[in-house]
């Protein structure tokens, strides 16, 4: 029984005593009641539940907070030599939570300068590729890379550098829970699927990545170097769109409506 319940019962008895005895005032003394142990536990449970409801907020807000925490950890990372030459870390950017997670290789010079992924010429082409199938970083995609710091001279990340960033990328995937993953380029393909097969062999094929459908296609920078790859890349994107429509039939509305929830 709670203190409030005890006090209420005590006051009722007090009034009953006065009524039946004809007394003007009762002989009952004032008592400061305390909760029984079980009531304390029950009250704490109710308060804890209310606290969860208050602090939990929307799932989107929680995901955004977690992604910010990961970005802060990335900014403080010095696990590999890339941390010594970077200007800015590039943790990732986009819609939270996204429908699609796009994973590339690593930051280039423009990305290192701005702290955002895919902002140079390759990034502009990537945006056009995504827009062609009603996807964008503003509305329904999150864009990240295998490594979060720029390799010198834009070289391919070394295995130990990719490994140093692996936990960050995995944490992002766990929080974002994308419906599908689009891997662009050999580095993303090799690290995500732990394979040495090239993108020309495996592009346009679906793989299961931790329960998430994954398709690999050519990196936009490769398309800028070799225009003959644009046709197969477009075919890959059409396959990706078809699969995405099976999983999220109305995903295009998030693009047409400006990403509104």
Domain over 59-256 is classified CATH 3.40.470.10: yes
43, pLDDT greater than 80: no
Query: Residue ranges of the domains in the chain?
Result: 3-56, 59-256
pLDDT tens track for 210-254? 999 999 999 999 999 999 999 999 999 999 999 999 999 999 999
pLDDT tens track for 174-195? 999 999 999 999 999 999 999 9
Q: Distance between CA 106 and CA 87 in Å, rounded?
A: 14
pLDDT tens track for 102-148? 999 999 999 999 999 999 999 999 999 999 999 999 999 999 999 99
pLDDT band at 48 (very low <50, low <70, confident <90, very high): very low
Burial 171-203 (b: 16+ CB within 10 A, else e): bbbebbebbbbbbbbbbbbbbbbeeeeebeebb
pLDDT of residue 258: 74
pLDDT of residue 83: 96
Find residue 181's DSSP bridge partners: 101, 214
pTM equals: 0.77
């Amino acid at each position: 029984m709670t203190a409030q319940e005890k006090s209420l019962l005590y006051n009722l008895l007090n009034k009953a005593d006065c009524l039946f005895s004809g007394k003007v005032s009762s002989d009952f003394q004032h008592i400061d009641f305390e909760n029984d142990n079980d009531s304390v536990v029950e009250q704490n449970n109710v308060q804890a539940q209310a606290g969860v409801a208050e602090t939990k907020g929307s799932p989107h807000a929680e995901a955004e907070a977690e992604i910010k925490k990961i970005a802060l950890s990335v900014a403080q990372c010095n696990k590999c030599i890339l941390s010594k030459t970077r200007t800015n870390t590039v943790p990732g950017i986009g819609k939270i939570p996204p429908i699609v997670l796009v994973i590339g290789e690593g930051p280039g010079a423009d990305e290192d300068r701005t702290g955002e992924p895919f902002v140079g010429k390759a990034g502009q082409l990537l945006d056009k590729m995504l827009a062609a199938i009603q996807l964008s970083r503003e509305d329904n995609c999150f864009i990240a890379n295998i490594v979060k710091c720029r390799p010198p001279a834009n070289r391919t990340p070394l295995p130990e550098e990719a490994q140093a960033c692996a936990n960050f990328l995995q944490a992002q995937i766990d929080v974002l829970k994308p419906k599908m993953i689009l891997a662009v380029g050999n580095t993303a393909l090799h690290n995500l699927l732990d394979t040495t097969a090239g993108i020309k062999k495996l592009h346009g094929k679906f793989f299961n990545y931790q329960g998430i459908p994954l398709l690999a296609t050519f990196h936009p920078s490769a398309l800028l170097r070799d225009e003959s790859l644009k046709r197969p890349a477009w075919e890959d994107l059409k396959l990706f769109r078809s699969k995405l429509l099976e999983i999220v039939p109305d995903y295009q509305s998030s693009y047409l409506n400006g990403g509104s929830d």
